[in-house]
């Protein structure tokens, strides 16, 4: 039976712990120069509607390092762009590929692809979620802090797709998460409600960035205007001015706080140059870990399709 990762709510705590452990192992193997190429003859399709640096290169590199072949498909070059039904594309690609990663605007389009695909489908970003990003972020927290339980995580900025995936991660893993967002830029109410109702995590929303940063072990921020919101940039820049992650914010956090950003960063907007390049920043390790986490995800999903005996998703990790 195939498994998709469309949101982090598709995974259990055991699934995520398994991915974290496997990603750490794969990273160690790479550092030691150990070749691991189980995917000879396997192909990963990448349908991208949005521009990408880290996500595209990490997926392509991961598949190549695992011995398989990535196939990049610009969404505008597909027949979907000429009004072919999504379900038809899904059925055909399932005949050619072993796995499909999709980076697009619409979560509904992604879910329809997954519904009609017989191969695993991975959310490589939509306007609502960015699950693979947050999985690699949690891997970075584990590396720097040794654990994720009992760690206070402060999200400062827009209640966007990455914030939504952090909310889902908190719901699954029981994280202590506080989100500081301006009025009218809070996370989606239904996503927040669903996560809180699970009762596993401690999830709070405030409009005060200093309150969020107080005693935080992790401070996380992202751009103020995401792809597709460029026309709102001037307005958002004014609204979010007090939400810049700078030395004033960092001083309110724990002494050994780590600062994270999923990149690309707009220096002196959502984060100051001083903090981004400073001793608390772990953004470059965070970016590297996208590669290793992606390899773990692909192993888990394509391994299932290969017919390995597994009782649950976490058994494949």
The predicted structure's pLDDT at residue 313? 56
> What count of other Cβ atoms lies within 10 Å of the Cβ of residue 311?
7
Contacts of 78 (CB under 8 A, 6+ apart): 47, 84, 89
| 94, containing H or E segment | helix 86-96
Q: What confidence score (pLDDT) does residue 77 get?
A: 78
pLDDT along the chain (317 residues), means of 10: 94 98 98 97 95 96 98 81 84 97 96 97 98 98 98 98 98 98 97 92 96 98 86 92 98 98 97 98 98 98 63 50
* Phi/psi at 74 (5° precision): -70, 130
First and final CA of the chain: distance in angstroms?
Answer: 15
How far is the CA of 287 from the CAs of 53, 137, 138, 205, 284, in angstroms? 10, 8, 12, 26, 5
Tokens representing 150 are: 């009992």
Q: Which residues pair with 122 in a beta bridge?
A: 5, 101
Contact 225, 252 (CB under 8 A): no
Q: Residue 51: what pLDDT?
A: 86
Which domains, from first to last, does the chain contain?
Answer: 8-130+287-316 (3.40.50.1370), 133-283 (3.40.50.1370)
- pTM, two decimal places: 0.94
Predicted pLDDT of residue 250: 98
| Chain position carrying tokens 């695909």 | 117
């Amino acid at each position: 039976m195939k498994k998709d990762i469309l949101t982090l709510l598709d995974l259990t705590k055991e699934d995520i712990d398994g991915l974290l452990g496997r990603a750490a192992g794969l990273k160690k193997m790479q550092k030691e120069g150990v070749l691991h190429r189980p995917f000879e003859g396997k192909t990963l399709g990448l349908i991208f509607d949005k521009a990408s640096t880290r996500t595209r290169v990490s997926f392509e590199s991961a598949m190549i390092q695992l011995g398989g072949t990535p196939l990049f498909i610009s969404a505008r070059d597909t027949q979907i762009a000429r009004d072919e039904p999504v379900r038809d594309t899904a059925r055909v690609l399932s005949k050619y590929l072993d796995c499909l990663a999709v980076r697009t605007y619409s979560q509904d389009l992604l879910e329809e692809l997954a519904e009609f695909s017989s191969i695993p489908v991975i959310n490589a970003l939509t306007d609502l979620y960015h699950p693979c990003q947050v999985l690699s972020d949690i891997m970075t927290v584990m590396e720097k802090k040794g654990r994720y339980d009992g760690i206070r995580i402060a999200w400062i900025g827009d209640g966007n797709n990455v914030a939504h995936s952090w909310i889902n991660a908190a719901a699954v893993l029981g994280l202590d998460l506080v989100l500081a967002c301006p009025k009218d830029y809070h996370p989606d109410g239904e996503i927040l409600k669903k996560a809180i109702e699970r009762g596993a995590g401690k999830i709070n929303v405030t409009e005060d960035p200093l309150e969020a940063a107080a005693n935080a072990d992790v401070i996380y921020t992202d751009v103020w205007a995401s792809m597709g919101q460029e026309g709102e940039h001037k307005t958002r820049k004014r609204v979010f001015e007090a939400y810049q992650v700078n030395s004033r914010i960092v001083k309110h956090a724990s002494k050994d706080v780590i600062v994270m950003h999923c990149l690309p960063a707009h220096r002196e907007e959502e984060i100051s140059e001083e903090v981004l390049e400073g001793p608390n920043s772990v953004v470059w390790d965070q970016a590297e870990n996208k590669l290793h986490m992606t390899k773990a995800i692909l192993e888990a999903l394509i391994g299932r399709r290969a017919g390995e005996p597994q009782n649950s998703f976490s058994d494949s990790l």
